[in-house]
Structure 1
């Protein structure tokens, strides 16, 4: 973690060398989820509710998933751009260093401008929580924290899986965006508004439903959430990163050097 912290500091200092560019990028990132949220607002302004869900409830769902995505895209960006290291043969250098390749790839790139997305998401989260008549308890507070943490782990896990494919395909596959950008867009709404096959896939295969939908039922005291398991559902998202790391480890073992 000390090494990771040094990576973090070095990248932050380098990006702050061009402060105007950094602030403009951050400002632009602020408006990306803002425009999506505006579309969400006009949708509910027109229809009032979706499948029994009201605007402030979906706004909470929106805020959690976009916060998780912003944090993951900031700190796990190295895996998203990993294919470039394979193409250029730079991954060979990482293999001869006496540190974990996971830490080194994580530390190879940080996108601090993504904090603009985080500011928007936090603002929506605070506003949604203040607007909802939630009877807060310690367990509900922990559940909300686990929802965000779980989302970070799931998005980071998908980045790791996509990076692992580069060991065999060299170029990163755009199909991974179906599960990152597509998963984010789907999970900003409660999953029960979709077809059953889609909601089951994004619950039992890629557990986005354990980030938002199931624990949200518990926080909002919905009649369906009659078990403590709904509060603990985000733990499945945290566990999701374990098989992703195993796939990464398998890919590293089968990596063929460029020979350069």
Structure 2
């Protein structure tokens, strides 16, 4: 972790050398999801509810997913940009260093301009919580924190899987965007509004449902039962990360360099 924080500090200092550019990009990142949220607001202003879900209930789901995605983009961007390391042959240099390749790739790039997305999602989170008093208990707030943390694990795991394919394809596969950008857009709404096969896929294969829909039902008192079970649901994100890292190790063992 000491090495990771050194990577973090170096990248922060380098990006702050061009402060005007940094803040302009951060402002731009603030307004990108703001437009998406504006569409959500207008939809509820027109129709009132979505299959029994109110605006602030869906806004809470929106905030959780966008916070998770923003944090993952900020701190796991190295895997998202991994194809450039393979294409230039720079990954060979990482292999001879006495540290984990996953840690080095993780520390190869940070996107601190995502602070704009984080702020916008945080505003939505606070606004929705202020209008959902049922969430203001310690077990529910702890569950909410676990939802965000494990959402970060899921998006990071998808970035790792996409990066692993680069060992064989050199370039990143655009199909990965179906599960990152597409998964973010899909999971910002409660999963029960979709077809059953979609709900099952994004609960048991890529477990977005474990960090949004299932715990959300508990937070909003839409289901009864133990308080411990919804917390355990959120750990599906951490479990998803484990096979992703194992697949990454398999890819590293079969890496044959680009010949550059």
Same fold (TM over 0.5): yes
1:47 aligns to what?
47
- Superposed counterparts of 1:71-86, under 5 Å: 71-86=71-86
- Superposed counterparts of 1:124-163, under 5 Å: 124-134=124-134, 136-163=136-163
Q: Which runs of 5+ in 1 are unaligned?
A: none
How many residues are treated as equivalent by the alignment? 259
- Superposed counterparts of 1:189-228, under 5 Å: 189-222=189-222, 224-228=223-227
1:67 aligns to what?
67
Task: Indicate yes or no: 2:250 matched with 1:256.
Answer: no
- Superposed counterparts of 1:165-176, under 5 Å: 165-176=165-176
Q: Contact 1:218–1:231 (CA<8 Å) still a contact in 2?
A: no
Residue by residue over 1:226-251, the C-alpha shift from the partner in whole angstroms, topping out at 9 and shown as x without a partner, is: 34423321101111100000000000
2:28 aligns to what?
28
Q: Contact 2:143–2:230 (CA<8 Å) still a contact in 1?
A: no
TM-score normalised according to structure 1 size: 0.98
RMSD: 0.9
Residue by residue over 1:146-196, the C-alpha shift from the partner in whole angstroms, topping out at 9 and shown as x without a partner, is: 000010000000000000000011110000000000000001000000000
Distance 2:192 2:135 in 1: 23
Stretch deviating more after TM superposition (130-139 or 160-169): 130-139
Distance 2:5 2:122 in 1: 24
Distance 1:33 1:258 in 2: 37
Question: Runs ≥4 in structure 1, deviation > 6 angstroms?
Answer: none
Q: Which runs of 5+ in 2 are unaligned?
A: none
SS state at 1:150 partner? helix
2:188 aligns to what?
188
- Superposed counterparts of 1:86-125, under 5 Å: 86-125=86-125
Q: Contact 1:215–1:232 (CA<8 Å) still a contact in 2?
A: no
Q: Contact 1:64–1:212 (CA<8 Å) still a contact in 2?
A: yes
1:247 aligns to what?
247
Could you tell me how far 1:79 is from its partner in structure 2?
0.2
Q: Contact 1:157–1:241 (CA<8 Å) still a contact in 2?
A: yes
Distance 1:73 1:179 in 2: 14
Could you tell me how far 1:225 is from its partner in structure 2?
4.1
